[in-house]
Amino acid sequence: MIGRSGVDDMEAILAIANTDVDEALHVVADNADAIFTWDYEKGARPALNKLYEKAKTSQWNGETDLPWDTEVDVEQLATEMGGNPQMQRFREEASAQPDSPFRNFGPKQWNELLIEGQNWRLSQFMHGEQGALLCTAKIVETVPWIDAKYYASTQVMDEARHVEVFARYLDTKLTGHYPINAHLKMLLDDIIADSRWDMTYLGMQIMVEGLALAAFGFMHMLTQDPLLKQLLRYVMSDEARHVAFGVLSLKEYYGDLSDAEMRERQEFAFEAAVRMRDRFLQQEVWERMGIDSRPVIRSMLAIPPEENMFQQMLFSKIVPNCRKLGLLDASGGWLRKRFEELGVIQFEHWTDTGEEYGELDEVAKDRLKASS
């Protein structure tokens, strides 16, 4: 990790702060060249062409295809999302440790924490979707293959729709949104600023979108809100295609890279994973609640990997996709060793996302039901 003695260095984690939360615009230098190709042969890469054809028939309208007239019980929604081992750990510490920051919490404060946590999580996904919107537009410009440009153009539309529906849900069904988390912002800045088109793929399509796909699946399983449940179903069907796009494109490209070039990609993937892990420490929630973040984050970092639900969720898609791309064992297995240290290597043989998108295409399934 650049500028950090270890992945759990709490002071280094807390030193990263979002300093322009009151600004409406954020500018990042994009150092990449826009690439035209005069080779218009469609289908030269059959897997990408298949994905493009699938994307064209799987579009949905966030304005008309979701039940926006649904009444959302904010407290019930927060309770559903808050019934996780981490919250249970906080409650146990509140009763067992006199110096716990939660020691004076009553039902009102616990409920408020659940609501704030829910707003924060959905806000970060909304911001991440805007990051994906910009990154995929960049891929259209920078990738040299026409089949990849065609598919990426459909993802730009997908990401715009995702930003739209998350923003509407947060601002009309919940109580508004949080600013972007500092660690997520730093990662998005790095992905956009890198001049190499494959780094945009790796950072966004594999790492950020891989996390999103796993997280949306977890939220979809927990929530009973019909509006959020359907919103997540549709977003997941898009996200699975997006990650598959990254896997299919990079698998071909990485086959020709040197060990030194692969090592750069391994280090980038690992740092991206750690930054996304840090994002789940939700510093902004503790600040808004007036809670000292240090003991809370110290407690969160101390959770064993096998009990850390968020870490399990984060890596369940990322590790198998890194394995399929050859990133785990390149350069003497550097990334494998890092994932072993984090306690997440057990996910390497889970299903990768290369073909999973067909199973998650909820738009196609709904249309089939409607026509039968």
Q: In the chain, how long is the greatest CA-to-CA distance?
A: 69
- Which listed CATH number (1.20.81.30, 3.50.50.60, 1.20.1260.10, 3.20.20.70) goes with 49-62+75-96+105-371? 1.20.1260.10
Q: What is the sign, positive or negative, of the torsion defined by CA atoms of 16, 19, 24, 26?
A: negative
How far, in Å, CA of 213 to CA of 201, rounded? 15
Residue 302: what residue type?
A
pLDDT of residue 256: 92
How far, in Å, CA of 160 to CA of 153, rounded? 11
Q: Which long-range contacts (CB under 8 A, 24 or more apart) does 164-169 make?
A: 164/62, 164/63, 165/62, 165/66, 165/231, 165/235, 166/122, 166/125, 166/126, 166/129, 166/231, 167/126, 168/62, 168/68, 169/122, 169/227, 169/228, 169/231
For residue 372, pLDDT over 70 is answered with: no
pLDDT tens per residue, range 224-246? 999 999 999 999 999 999 999 99
pLDDT tens per residue, range 264-323? 999 999 999 999 989 989 999 999 999 999 999 998 888 877 777 777 777 888 999 999
Residue 286 in 3-state DSSP?
Answer: helix
The pTM assigned to this predicted structure is 0.92
